[in-house]
Each structure stands twice: as C-alpha cells, then as structure tokens.
C-alpha cells in the first residue's frame, strides 16, 4: 500500500496546459476516483502518475519517495486501460504471464504468480481457455489479472469498464471494489460515469480545466458541492440566485425573488456577508410539493409538465418569477398534472446548499509560455 502525493503538477501539450497545478493526496489502500468533464485532464493525470508522461513542473511522491522522474517500468504501478488489448492467440494464463516473462522471472515464480492473480479475479478454472472463447466480463477479469500479476503498489484504472454493457459494468465495479479492499491496493480510477464513481469510490476528485475543483467522499460532493459547476456535474440541480440575509454558524438565509431559503454554506472558511450575492442549489429529489403555503423554505410554483416513470414522478415547474424548477418525487401515489394553480415546493435546510457567487469564467486554453 502506498501514499500518493501530488504537488503543483503541471503538464502541457504544445502551448496549452492540460494539468494546471494539481494537488492531491491519496492515502494507502484508498479507492480514489478522478472525475470530470471530457478533456479536463483525467487521463493525462493518471498517465503522469504511471510515469508515461513527465510533468513540466511539480512532483509526485510514492510513500515520500520522489518518483517524478522515475520511468514507468520502475514505478511499480500497473495500469489497466479502456481497451484491454489482450492477445487473442494466447490462452488466459499466457496473457497474464506475458509481463512477467518479459521481465525474465523464473518459470516457477511466474506460474505461482499467474495462479495467484487468476484466483484473485476468480478465473483459475479458465486458465487454458483462448481469449476469443471468453465473454466480455471474463476478458475484463483477465485484463485485471494481468495488472495484478506484477504485484503493483498502486493500481491505475482508466475507464476500465467502458466496453461492457450495463449489467456487467455493475458486476465488475463491485468486483473491482472487492479486490481493491480485500488486497488493500491503493487504486486510482478514471471514469466519466458519475454513478460508478458514487457507488464505488472511497473518495473522489472533481477535475475542471486541469485543476482540482473539489475532493471528498461521494456523499460530501453530492450533498455539499463547493460550486455550481461541481453541483451540476455530479447530478441534476436547481439554482436560484439571491442575496444573503443572515448567517449563523455554517447556515445562511438567502432571499431570492421567489422566496427565502435557509441552507448550509458550501465552503469552509467562507463567511457570507449580508447583502452578498449567493446561489441556492437544491437537488430535484430534495423538493417536496405541498398544497400548504405555511412552510418556510418554500417557492410558489405551478406545474408546466409532469411524467410518471414508475418509481419516480418528474415535474417541471415554473416559479412566480419565471424560474424553471425540476422536482423528482419518489414512490409517487398519484401524478399531479399541469395546472395554473400554485403549489409550494419545499426543501429542508439540510438539503439546501448556499454557494458563493463567483464570476463564471469561460474556459480559454491556458498558455504554457
């Protein structure tokens, strides 16, 4: 198990910085996810950790040892790619053994380690099968065994499940978590699948424009995002803008044109001042539709469209001031239909996040000059 420490990491291609000062600590035995929009630099960061790219600036330490300039084959990491590129003409065991044979290890040790890796992924009974005789999920397991056979200190996974269908993905993500936890790997996992990350990660980093926007457990990031971009990246969110009325502890009240909302302040160390602009973020499932206007934290709305989807009902609503609000109602007994009459969309303060308003910057390429 290793501790991976990344400091001020920068990497450019041509004159554009793709990693723009990454700082991260991944603790021993942690299953850590890198998540973010396409092109934000996730794969570049993973490849830098593997040693395939040398950064322009900054450092990478494994257990306090500086590996920034150590070549990939001496880092004791194993990387599993999106396309798992197995050799079709070789059988399972031979595919797994290949990396060890290249390293010229003794035959008996290779056999022992291949068997151990196949046991971990529960493929020991299919060791002599040809790759083309395996299902997609079984091929995936062979690719994982091939990564594990080198006994890496750190397992790096780049979209490892993107070639699998939905059912297999679910099985394999649970399997990857089981293996990482049982054998105490430090693992760094890149995906753009938010549900996969929320279900499997111990912690995750949201990367935006080559920088870390937020680090936390899936619950922390889902329930207390630090910005509107993180909030909307990780799940659907309603935003209302307004002004701070008052603050106490980690709670603030924001007055929006449609109604007042009390909620939790998104960022540690930010003490909003009265009159400061702020944004209220509320997930669709955090709203409850009521006929009674007497609740606090409520927005008068009318329904513009509604859809029954079995386990949930989805509503699109319009507030008096024209804001479009989306609400999901779990286990709906009846579907409310579009009407001109006002209902009241209520959210508990604990489910409301108060975000600091920052001027939203479009993302120009950052010059590496």
Ligand X SMILES: Nc1ncnc2c1ncn2[C@@H]1O[C@H](COP(=O)(O)OP(=O)(O)OP(=O)(O)O)[C@@H](O)[C@H]1O
Binding residues vs ligand X (CB under 6 A):
13, 18, 36, 38-44, 192
Q: Is 64 exposed, middle or buried (0-12, 13-18, 19+ CB in 10 A)?
A: exposed
CB of 156 to ligand X, least distance (A): 13
Q: Buried (b) or exposed (e) across 259-296, using 16+ Cβ within 10 A?
A: bebbbbbbbeebebeeeeebbbbbbbbbbebeeeeeee
Contact indicator for 196, 204 with CB cutoff of 8 Å: no
Query: CA distances (Å), 126 to each of 115, 301, 368, in order?
Result: 11, 60, 50
Rank residues 233 and 287 by Cβ distance to ligand X and give the closer one.
233
Rank residues 45 and 343 by Cβ distance to ligand X and give the closer one.
45
CB of 84 to ligand X, least distance (A): 16
Rank residues 43 and 297 by Cβ distance to ligand X and give the closer one.
43
Rank residues 213 and 303 by Cβ distance to ligand X and give the closer one.
213
CB of 250 to ligand X, least distance (A): 32
CB of 238 to ligand X, least distance (A): 26
Rank residues 21 and 29 by Cβ distance to ligand X and give the closer one.
21
Rank residues 40 and 303 by Cβ distance to ligand X and give the closer one.
40
Alpha helices for the chain (secondary structure H)? 42-50, 92-102, 107-120, 136-148, 166-182, 194-200, 218-223, 228-234
Our CA dihedral for 67, 71, 74, 78, rounded to 10 degrees, sits at 90
Half-sphere exposure of 210 (CA within 13 A, CB side): 21
CB of 42 to ligand X, least distance (A): 4
Indicate the DSSP class of residue 121.
Answer: T
Rank residues 39 and 257 by Cβ distance to ligand X and give the closer one.
39
Q: Give the whole-angstrom CA distance, residue 286 versus residue 222.
A: 12
Half-sphere exposure of 34 (CA within 13 A, CB side): 31
Q: Give the whole-angstrom CA distance, residue 154 versus residue 61.
A: 12
CB of 56 to ligand X, least distance (A): 13
Structure tokens at 333: 């007994």
Rank residues 34 and 278 by Cβ distance to ligand X and give the closer one.
34
Q: Which of 87, 29, 28, 31 is nearest to 63 (CA)?
A: 28
CB of 159 to ligand X, least distance (A): 7
CB of 170 to ligand X, least distance (A): 21
């Amino acid at each position: 198990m290793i501790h991976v420490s990344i400091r001020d990491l920068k990497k450019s291609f041509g004159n554009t910085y793709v990693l723009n000062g990454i700082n991260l600590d991944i603790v021993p035995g942690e299953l850590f996810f890198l998540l973010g929009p396409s092109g934000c630099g996730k794969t570049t960061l993973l490849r830098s950790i593997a040693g395939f790219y040398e950064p322009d600036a900054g450092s990478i330490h494994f257990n306090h040892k500086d590996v920034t300039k150590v070549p990939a084959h001496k880092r004791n990491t194993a990387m599993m790619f999106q396309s798992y590129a197995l050799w079709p003409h070789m059988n399972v065991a031979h595919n797994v053994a290949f990396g060890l044979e290249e390293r010229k290890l003794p035959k008996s040790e290779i056999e022992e380690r291949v068997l151990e890796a196949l046991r971990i992924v529960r493929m020991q009974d299919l060791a002599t099968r040809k790759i083309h005789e395996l299902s997609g999920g079984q091929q995936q397991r062979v690719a994982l065994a091939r990564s594990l056979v080198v006994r890496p200190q750190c397992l790096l996974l780049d979209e490892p499940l993107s070639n699998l269908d939905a059912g297999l993905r679910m099985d394999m993500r649970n399997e990857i978590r089981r293996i990482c936890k049982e054998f105490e790997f430090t693992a760094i996992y890149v995906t753009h699948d938010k549900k996969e990350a929320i279900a499997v990660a111990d912690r995750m980093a949201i990367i935006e424009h080559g920088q870390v926007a937020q680090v936390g457990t899936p619950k922390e990031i889902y329930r207390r995002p630090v910005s509107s971009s993180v909030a909307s990246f990780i799940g659907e969110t309603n935003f209302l803008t307004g002004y701070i009325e008052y603050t106490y502890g980690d709670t603030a009240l924001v007055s929006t044109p449609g109604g007042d909302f009390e909620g939790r302040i998104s960022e540690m160390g930010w003490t909003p001042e009265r009159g400061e602009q702020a944004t209220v973020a509320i997930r669709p499932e955090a709203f409850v539709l009521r006929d009674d206007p007497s609740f606090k934290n409520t927005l008068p709305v009318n329904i513009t469209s509604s859809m029954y989807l079995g386990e949930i009902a989805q509503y699109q609503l319009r507030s008096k001031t024209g804001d479009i609000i989306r609400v999901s109602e779990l286990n709906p007994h009846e579907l409310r239909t579009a009407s001109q009459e006002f209902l009241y969309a209520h959210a508990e303060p604990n489910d409301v996040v108060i975000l600091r308003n920052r001027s939203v910057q479009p993302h120009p390429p950052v010059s590496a000059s």
